[in-house]
A and B are shown apart, each in its own frame.
Chain A
Amino acid sequence: MSGPTARPANGGDVVIAGAAETDAVGVLPEHSTLRLHVEGARNAVADAGLRMSDIDGIASVSAPGPIQVAHALGIRPRWIDGTGVGGTSFLLHVRHAVAAIRAGHASTILVTHGESGKSRVGAAYGMLPPSSPNAQFEAPYGVLGPPTMFTIPLLRYMKEFGLTPEQLAYVPVAQRKWAARNPRARYREPITVEDVLNSRMISYPLHLLECCLVTDGGGALVITSAERARDLPQPPVHILGTGETFESPLISQMEDFTTSAAFRRSSAEAFAEAGISHGDVDHLMIYDAFAHVPIYGLEDMGFVGRGEAGAFIAEGNTEPGGRLPLNTNGGGLSYTHTGMYGMFLIQESVRQLRGQAAAQVPGVEVSVALGNGGMFMAAGTLVLSNRTA
């Protein structure tokens, strides 16, 4: 794999010691955005066998952001990270937390997510300033949220590589098979390619069932040193490699519509740091706001060649019993999608590595999560393992 120079393996000296979601995900009109953060945080700290007073670092996305969340929880942090690059932000927080713990800037860091994506209780409105490049050069052409922008590159990909509408429609079909095994998943009924192609057109060429859910929910992580985690109850999840980058804040300025430079660079960096190759990966999570995003992800991470991912998924390789289990919680397409979905990627990777997942894959030792921010705007990648190298 081309990319950054390989570095010595980090030894997995920093771990995820606590991980939990809100009690429920889905439609939670009684939960404010802040409550979703707080509930996820309390659950994660309890999962780690710690008390809130043990937390000395906080990372979260505005709004409400790390200050509000830490204040609500009574945390007095000596380390704060408010990096907000869309749905992948939490993967970046994990990466930054590893560095902070190594540097001694904090010992036990809490990363929180909460979003009232469906009920919009106390939700932030992410309007860009009218003089921003997006507002001047894209908004006048009638864009309205991710379905109208994230989808634009897809036709070019389909033309270049011959991806068929049926192959694309199989992505949600495969993921629904995982969701069927997950009692918390929003949609669990099996679906067919025909069901997908007969569902309402949202943004051609994508149908309703090729678009993610819109839900309420949250989750949090507790990150600390492997040494500290030895006394804690959960099996540690070692952070072996991480990557982060961005490509373009405007979808129209993405360099090549058939590949995400952000996915490529972020993942190459994480794989190189971890010193792993693709054959080492037992379980994979790829941000799936729309059906084509896992196709880009599989190719841009290097699991398959350019133009091969549609057939790879349609042949059953990523579904239950396949050789590369992908999006085993059901994904944003069937499990839950609050808006900034990245936290749920990490949660499922942790569950699989602990052997605690609803749709548990036998013998998972290395799990990789690829997060997307914005519309192919930013990316973060984590290589996680239940062993140290």
Chain B
Amino acid sequence: MPARGKPTPVPTPETRPYFDAAARGELKIQRCLDCGRPFFYPRPCCPFCASAALEWITASGRATLYSYTINHRPAPGFEQDAPYAIAVVQLEEGPRMMANIVGIDNTPDNLVLDMDLQVTFEQRGDVTIPQFTPAGTEAAR
């Protein structure tokens, strides 16, 4: 692990399928087989009805920019990126998740709320994490 590099998630058994999918270039989220609702983050039971009958679905990767902040005091490992946006994106399926917005200068003018985004992936140590980029850009493979 690189000294003071960007944090690398440590998966647990219930989050492992999410990170395994990310390594294959897929964004997977869970859906409840009883109430039918999708949710994020991965966990052992449905937050809406407490059912443990869950399935993994592949999200479309399409999302919109729900909100963000542009951080001027970088976290360890992010020194080269500052100022950088820490965003929350709304997936087409409904759930929201945190992400960085890559492939575009992180300025208030560039980052317009509700803009269309597309998932992309970043290798972080031995783990792959989803990131988002403006739809239609080069990084949106």
Contact = CB atoms under 8 A, between A and B. Distances in A.
Pairing of A with B:
yes
B66 A257 contact: yes
A349 interface: no
Contacts of A200: 72
Contact of A140 (B6, B70, B76): B6
B67 A202 contact: no
Interface in B1-55: 6-12, 15, 40-41, 43
A196 to B, nearest CB: 16
Contacts of B140: none
Contacts of B11: 131, 136
Interface in A128-185: 130-131, 133, 135-144, 147-149, 151-156, 159
Given A144-B74, A252-B98, A253-B41, A204 B69 contact: yes
A216 B100 CA distance: 34
Contact of B71 (A135, A147, A159): A147
Given A152-B86, A155-B67, A257-B66, A131 B73 contact: no
Given A155-B68, A156-B67, A252 B84 contact: no
Contact of A153 (B67, B71, B76, B78): B67
A9 interface: no
B103 interface: no
Interface size class of A (residues with CB under 8 A): 35 or more
A203 interface: yes
B117 interface: no
Given A140-B129, A141-B86, A156 B43 contact: no
A62 to B, nearest CB: 24
A124 interface: no
Contacts of A24: none
A186 to B, nearest CB: 20
Contacts of B8: 140
Q: Is the interface of B mostly helix, strand, loop or mixed?
A: loop
B125 to A, nearest CB: 10
B62 interface: no
Interface string B83-110: 1101110000000111110000000100
Given A141-B98, A141-B100, A148 B69 contact: yes
B132 to A, nearest CB: 10
Nearest to B8: A140
A201 interface: yes
B98 to A, nearest CB: 4
Contacts of B98: 137-138, 141, 143, 250-252
Given A152-B86, A257-B88, A136 B10 contact: yes
A204 B7 CA distance: 22
Contacts, number: 114
A300 B82 CA distance: 33
* Residue with the greatest number of chain B CB neighbours at <10 A, chosen from A135, A205, A252, A257: A252
Contacts of A205: 69, 108
Contact of B73 (A144, A153, A154): A144
Contact of B72 (A136, A137, A141, A203): A203
B41 A142 contact: no
A257 B98 CA distance: 13
Given A135-B7, A136-B9, A252-B88, A155 B69 contact: yes
A203 B9 contact: no
B72 A202 contact: yes
B35 to A, nearest CB: 17
Closest CB pairs A-B (n = 8): A204-B70, A144-B75, A156-B67, A136-B9, A151-B69, A252-B98, A130-B10, A142-B78
Interface of B: 6-12, 15, 40-41, 43, 66-78, 81, 83-84, 86-88, 96-100, 108, 113, 124, 129
Interface of A: 130-131, 133, 135-144, 147-149, 151-156, 159, 200-206, 250-253, 257
30 contacts: A130-B10, A136-B12, A136-B41, A137-B40, A137-B98, A140-B6, A140-B124, A141-B87, A142-B77, A142-B100, A143-B75, A144-B73, A147-B73, A148-B73, A148-B86, A152-B87, A152-B88, A155-B68, A156-B67, A159-B113, A201-B72, A202-B73, A203-B70, A203-B71, A204-B70, A250-B41, A251-B98, A252-B98, A257-B67, A257-B88
Given A149-B86, A200-B72, 8 more contacts: A131-B11, A141-B98, A147-B73, A152-B68, A201-B83, A203-B70, A252-B97, A253-B40
